[in-house]
């Protein structure tokens, strides 16, 4: 039989524990598929804030750094400047992105 579905190698083999109807698991899969397709898993560093987004370290099979609420862009900037060869991205939930300065 032809295989039409498989777990991306950038996702760990663990069940998701997000609330029913939450979009985190879908977004995790899409991010992991993109990273696998681009072949950059060994160069990726993700940054996640507090809240549900912080659980990214449980699911992604690459480096994840935790940051204070609303601070992932700042941390990403510093990390990119110190590790310019890496692919840096932030993974933030709606509450974290809506934090005012």
Cβ contact 88:70 at 8 Å: no
Cβ contact 16:59 at 8 Å: yes
Rounded to the nearest 5 degrees, what angle is found at the Cα of 45, between the Cα atoms of 18 and 39?
95
State pLDDT tens for residues 30-46: 999 999 999 999 999 99
Instruction: State the pLDDT confidence band at 99, using cuts at 50, 70 and 90.
Output: low
């Amino acid at each position: 039989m032809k295989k039409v579905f498989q777990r991306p190698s950038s996702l760990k083999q663990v069940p998701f524990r997000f609330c029913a109807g939450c979009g985190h698991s879908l977004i995790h899969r899409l991010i992991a598929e993109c990273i696998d397709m681009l072949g950059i898993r060994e160069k990726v560093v993700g940054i996640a804030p507090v809240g549900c987004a912080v659980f990214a370290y449980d699911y992604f099979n690459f480096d994840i750094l935790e940051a204070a609420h609303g601070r992932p862009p700042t941390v990403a900037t510093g990390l990119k400047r110190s590790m310019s060869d890496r692919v840096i991205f932030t993974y933030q939930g709606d509450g974290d992105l809506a934090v005012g300065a």
